[in-house]
A and B are shown apart, each in its own frame.
Chain A
Amino acid sequence: QKEVEQNSGPLSVPEGAIASLNCTYSDRGSQSFFWYRQYSGKSPELIMFIYSNGDKEDGRFTAQLNKASQYVSLLIRDSQPSDSATYLCAVNKGSGTYKYIFGTGTRLKVLA
């Protein structure tokens, strides 16, 4: 079992729809959770981070964390073609380390 799992996709959604990206992790003691967006040939760009159970909203993006079920998700409302990218889930285990464990990413395609 991988430490951080994501469906590789591609996930295709029409423009204006809600895109839902999911990530599960295996270490129950994980502390911090991050979503990065990576365009082809570019480096990752931070979208959201979440530390506590529940929802966290920032503009069109909502991160959801459920520690009991060990999953974190990212919702993108009113999806735009410019949102088409690979979305990487990263998990930090805490305990004094800043290391991330990355998922393999989900490729999102927003169709115009």
Chain B
Amino acid sequence: GAVVSQHPSWVICKSGTSVKIECRSLDFQATTMFWYRQFPKQSLMLMATSNEGSKATYEQGVEKDKFLINHASLTLSTLTVTSAHPEDSSFYICSASKDTGNIQYFGAGTRLSVL
């Protein structure tokens, strides 16, 4: 068990458009979901933590109006990159945590390229 699905795996968009990324826990209910960004040859940077039905908690320096997070159910969280610019091009990865164990299970990631 503990499968996390992330979609799409790869997206190219034009500058100024918005992109939505979905993260689903397929075989468990995720009390908490996380969104990370990773630039080449760097480690994962936590962007925000989301709990079902409540507002996401953003890390310092992450623009909440630019990176909209919705955690509508215990199995689905979405990240919308609004008005994307080339500097937003990155590898975005979600993870989900069950109630116990503090273990995060990661989705496969979404590679975003903004032209």
Contacts and interface: CB of A to CB of B under 8 A. Distances in A.
Interface of A: 31-32, 34, 36, 41-46, 49, 88, 90, 92, 94, 97-100, 102-105
B32 A98 contact: yes
A17 B104 CA distance: 30
A44 B44 contact: yes
A36 B44 CA distance: 12
A103 B43 CA distance: 7
Contact of B97 (A98, A103, A104): A98
Nearest to B107: A43
Contact of A42 (B42, B105, B108): B108
B46 interface: yes
Contacts, number: 50
Interface residues of B, number: 21
B60 interface: no
A104 B104 CA distance: 17
B44 A102 contact: yes
Contact of A43 (B32, B49, B93): B93
B102 A98 contact: yes
A103 B42 CA distance: 10
